[in-house]
Amino acid sequence: MNRFFLPYFRVVFSVLVTFFVAEVAFAQDSVKTVVAKRGDGILSLLRKEGINPYDHYDDFIAMNLDNLRDSIHLYEGRRYLIPSVELDSVEVVESIEKKSKEVVKIEGEDFAIFGKKHATVLKNSDRLKGNVYYLVSGHGGPDPGAMANYGGKMIAEDEYAYDITLRLAKELISHGALVYIIIRDENDGIRDERVLEIDHDEVAYPNKTIPLNQVARLKQRVEIVNDLYSKHRGKYQRLIVTHVDSRSRGQNIDVFFYHHEKSKNGRKLAESIHTTFQKKYQKFQPNRVYSGTFEDRSSLYLVKKTHPAMTFIEIGNIRNKKDQRRILDPDNRQALAKWISEGVLLDYEK
**Both 167 and 293 in a single domain?**
yes
Task: Give 97's DSSP letter.
Answer: S
Output the pLDDT for position 246: 60
Lowest pLDDT segment from 27-36, 100-109, 271-280 = 100-109
Q: Is residue 109 part of a domain?
A: no
Which residues, 6+ apart, have CB-to-CB distance to 52 below 8 Å?
Answer: 46, 85, 122
Q: Is residue 1 part of a domain?
A: no
**Both 75 and 222 in a single domain?**
no
User: For 224, phi and psi rounded to 5 degrees?
Assistant: -65, -50
Output the pLDDT for position 92: 31
Q: Is residue 183 part of a domain?
A: yes
**Both 58 and 134 in a single domain?**
no
**Both 68 and 160 in a single domain?**
no
- Of 204, 181, 165, whose CA–CA distance to 132 is shortest? 181
Helix/strand/coil (H/E/C) assignment for every residue in 165-202: HHHHHHHHHHCCCEEEECEECCCCCCCCCCCCCCCCCC
Task: Give 113's DSSP letter.
Answer: G
> What is the Cα–Cα distance from 223 to 216, expressed in whole angstroms?
10
CATH code, 229: 3.40.630.40
Task: Give 245's DSSP letter.
Answer: E
In which band, very low, low, confident or very high, does the pLDDT at 88 lie, cut at 50, 70 and 90? very low
Instruction: Read off the pLDDT of each residue in 265-291 and give the average, rounded to a whole number.
Output: 90
Lowest pLDDT segment from 61-65, 205-209, 225-229, 331-335 = 61-65
The per-residue pLDDT of the chain, averaged, comes to: 84
**Both 286 and 343 in a single domain?**
yes
> What is the Cα–Cα distance from 235 to 240, expressed in whole angstroms?
16
**Both 144 and 213 in a single domain?**
yes
Instruction: Read off the pLDDT of each residue in 11-21 and give the average, rounded to a whole number.
Output: 34
Helix (H) or strand (E) run with residue 265 in it: helix 264-284
User: The domain containing residue 302 runs over which residues?
Assistant: 124-349
**Both 219 and 129 in a single domain?**
yes
Output the pLDDT for position 16: 32
Cα angle vertex 280, ends 241, 323, to 5°?
60
**Both 190 and 70 in a single domain?**
no
**Both 181 and 304 in a single domain?**
yes
Task: Give 51's DSSP letter.
Answer: -
Beta-carbon-side half-sphere exposure of residue 101 (alpha carbons within 13 Å): 10
Chain centroid to CA 47: how far? Answer: 17
Strands 309-317, 256-259: parallel, antiparallel or unpaired by DSSP?
A: antiparallel
Output the pLDDT for position 39: 82
> What is the Cα–Cα distance from 143 to 183, expressed in whole angstroms?
12
* Segment 240-254, tens digit of pLDDT: 999 997 655 445 568
Q: Is residue 3 part of a domain?
A: no
Task: Give 127's DSSP letter.
Answer: T
> What pTM does this model have?
0.79
Output the pLDDT for position 311: 98
Output the pLDDT for position 334: 92
In which band, very low, low, confident or very high, does the pLDDT at 308 lie, cut at 50, 70 and 90? very high
Which residues are registered as beta bridge partners of 296? 259
Q: Is residue 101 part of a domain?
A: no
**Both 64 and 167 in a single domain?**
no
**Both 335 and 270 in a single domain?**
yes
Is the pLDDT at 76 greater than 80, yes or no? yes
| Cβ–Cβ < 8 Å for 154, 148 | yes
Is the pLDDT at 14 greater than 70, yes or no? no
Stronger pLDDT, 116 or 2, i.e. the higher one: 116
Overall domain count for the chain: 2
Instruction: Read off the pLDDT of each residue in 139-155 and give the average, rounded to a whole number.
Output: 94
Q: Is residue 333 part of a domain?
A: yes
Most confident of 2-16, 17-31, 54-68: 54-68
**Both 149 and 263 in a single domain?**
yes
Q: Is residue 97 part of a domain?
A: no
In which band, very low, low, confident or very high, does the pLDDT at 21 lie, cut at 50, 70 and 90? very low
